[in-house]
Amino acid sequence: TATSTGSTQTLLTRGNGKDISPRWSPEGTSLAFLRDHEAKNQIFTIDPEAGEAQRVTDLADGVSEFEWTSSGRGFLFVARASDDHRLKHASDVADDKSENDPSNEPRRITTLAHRMDGVGYRDGRRNHLGVALLSGRIIQMTSGDYDHAQAALSPCRRYLAFASNQSGERDNERLTDIWLMDLDTDTLRRITNHDGVYGLPIFSPDSSKLAFVGHRVEAPYGPTNLDRVWIADLTSGRVEVLTESIDREMSNTCSGDSSYGVPAQRPVWSSDSASIYSLMSDHGNVGIIRIGSTGSWEQVVDGDREVMTFSASSDGQIAFAASDPVTPAEVFITENKGDQERQLSTHNAALLEQLSLSAPTRLEYQTLDGASVDAWVLEPIDRRDGVRYPLVLEIHGGPHAMYGNTFFHEFQLLAAQGYGVLYTNPRGSTGYGQEFVSAAMGDWGGTDYQDVMAGLDAALDEFDWIDPNRLGVTGGSYGGYLVNWIVTQTDRFAAAITQRSTCNRKNLFGSSDMVWTYSEWEFRSLPWDDPDFYYDRSPLAHVASVKTPILIMHSENDLRCPVEQGEQWYTALKRLNRETEFVRFPGESHNLSRSGRPDRRLERLRWMTDWFRRHV
């Protein structure tokens, strides 16, 4: 914690586990957070003035998200229920589960959405909402064979809002609606039209309106439609888009590897219920804007940085956590007009004094067909004039995400090892408007490949210290796909590292936990309708052209881009006697580089730097 002046900073929790998602009580006297107690996240509270953390919940499968109730006497939370849709205490579940463990029995699967990366098989169990009182009592608020998430309780305590899909097709699609429960009448109504993905509801202070974030899934942009802020008037029932005129995502879409446990940011109401604060991603930066009731808006917090999360006080002050390329996240405070900003925390100051970091140079370049694309270049640490250095091209995942002005540990490590680092936002990236983010739909391996390679050429033209004969390329997820694609199209790179990647888009449709939800949009068809196109845009179809030494790194529990994709790529390369190695990480999911076990995250970086050292 830190005082509003920044004069006092106090470390409240210690230990070997993870403490995440801190939340102040409404009166500001107690702090609640999630702690991984006995391998399950549970709600704990602590008095900042004295005392040890106290556990509030002991749910059998832990808590995935929570908020204080407006009274400060308990918490609204989301947790996974048992197969009878009941929330249970750990003590209600038998200690010895070995005989009843579903993993020991055959699984009967009847739905498309039957597993999730980082979660595993769902086994018909649902996420439900509950209230946990400080006494430890649990009150279940929802029921039925539906998932519920992102709950909010109105200040007047009459309404409960949440995100849920309660349609007959809920397990065969990825749409979500905003629902409103009237606690006085015990009635439930749907706020949205079941035409998109909506979430993060939050009530106005006067309880008359509900704000939320989301987008329609409709032609021509489908799931790439921009996230916008919506308003529902609870009296009239009218729902409208507040940010229709703002051609940017109303969310943080910046890619990084140095933050963990930061929940998605909800909109924040002003104390008079007249305006809303929201994050906005723009040209590699993430800032805070204030939006008026008519949709007019102004920037409140800007700059070359990533604002990760924020809150606002009743007197108009905004506290936020932000990072820039040479500074890991710190806490700041500003007035509601964005002036008189001051930094409250200096948690990383002692570490930064011991390090040499590379500040990026922004490079705007033109593609072959005239599009304007952003890139950034980190120089190697202690670069000397007249000496040429190797360069590593980094490619972000998504593709609907963006690189930007945030601290990226992997990039700084490469710079410290003597490499330049180039990272770009090719078309398909977020932060540049609707047309830009949707430009690669139906053309994976086309527009995006050309944009990334044009960025490499621009960097070579701009920076004479780059050695064109010592180039490396790496990326993860979609970035891994594009790495695989690149080495089938060119031999300009001395080495490549592909991470949590895909190589066969045709069979990935059926093996991934969610690729089936967007492939019809991204590839303009289903794989059985146009199998030739799916396979032609798969690196595996062109593997015989690979000449670049390539390291394959994959997590064995990755359900987003399953390890079988790495196996296919490795087997084909080995059969062709290409230079390749395959590193597999047991027990890790798709998010190894961001939230994996620390020793395995370090091991991943060791393999990366060793491969480039040997080949670049």
Domain membership flag for residue 243: no
Q: Return all residues near 35 (Cβ < 8 A) that are at least 6 apart.
A: 13, 17, 18, 19, 41, 42, 44, 53, 55
> Is residue 477 flagged as an active site residue?
yes
Q: Helix crossing, 478-489 with 447-462: angle to 10°?
A: 80
Give the CATH number, domain containing residue 501: 3.40.50.1820
Q: What is the pLDDT of residue 259?
A: 80
* Residues β-bridged to residue 290: 277, 298
Helices (H), 239-283: none
Q: What is the pLDDT of residue 34?
A: 94
- Spatial contact of 589 and 518, defined as CB atoms under 8 Å apart: no
Q: Supply 19's token pair.
A: 């403490």
Q: What is the pLDDT of residue 185?
A: 93
- Dihedral sign for Cα atoms in the order 145, 78, 276, 221: negative
Cβ atoms within 10 Å, residue 576: 12
CA angle (428 as vertex; 425, 433 as ends), nearest 5: 85
Q: Helix crossing, 598-615 with 409-416: angle to 10°?
A: 40
> Is residue 590 flagged as an active site residue?
yes
Domain membership flag for residue 397: yes
Domain membership flag for residue 5: no
Q: What is the pLDDT of residue 78?
A: 97
CA angle (166 as vertex; 160, 171 as ends), nearest 5: 135
Distance CA 567, CA 145 (A): 36
Give the chain's residues under pLDDT 70.
4-7, 94-103, 260-261, 336
* Stated pTM of the model: 0.95
Q: What is the pLDDT of residue 102?
A: 58
Q: What is the pLDDT of residue 96?
A: 43
Compute φ and ψ for 376, nearest 5 degrees.
-135, 145
Domain membership flag for residue 307: no
Compute φ and ψ for 533, nearest 5 degrees.
-70, -45
- Spatial contact of 308 and 293, defined as CB atoms under 8 Å apart: no
Hey, what amino acid is at 403?
Y
CA angle (556 as vertex; 554, 558 as ends), nearest 5: 80
Instruction: Give the closest residue to 583 by CA, choosing from 497, 494, 513.
Output: 497
Domain membership flag for residue 135: no
**DSSP-assigned states of every residue in 428-482:** TBSSS-HHHHTTTTT-TTTHHHHHHHHHHHHHHHH-TTEEEEEEEEEEETHHHHH
Q: Which residue has the tokens 């009843």?
A: 100
Domain membership flag for residue 385: yes
Distance CA 154, CA 157 (A): 5
Is 582 buried (19+), middle (13-18) or exposed (0-12) by CB count in 10 A?
Answer: middle
Q: Return all residues near 221 (Cβ < 8 A) that are at least 6 apart.
A: 434, 438, 441
Range of the domain at 492: 356-615
pLDDT tens-digit readout, 187-220 = 999 999 999 999 999 999 999 999 999 999 999 9
Distance CA 561, CA 475 (A): 13
Domain membership flag for residue 178: no
477, 501, 538, 555: the catalytic one is 477
Compute φ and ψ for 580, nearest 5 degrees.
-155, 155
Say how many residues make up the chain: 616
358, 590, 593, 615: the catalytic one is 590
Q: Which residue has the tokens 């204030």?
A: 290
Domain tally, the chain: 1
Distance CA 374, CA 425 (A): 6
Domain membership flag for residue 392: yes
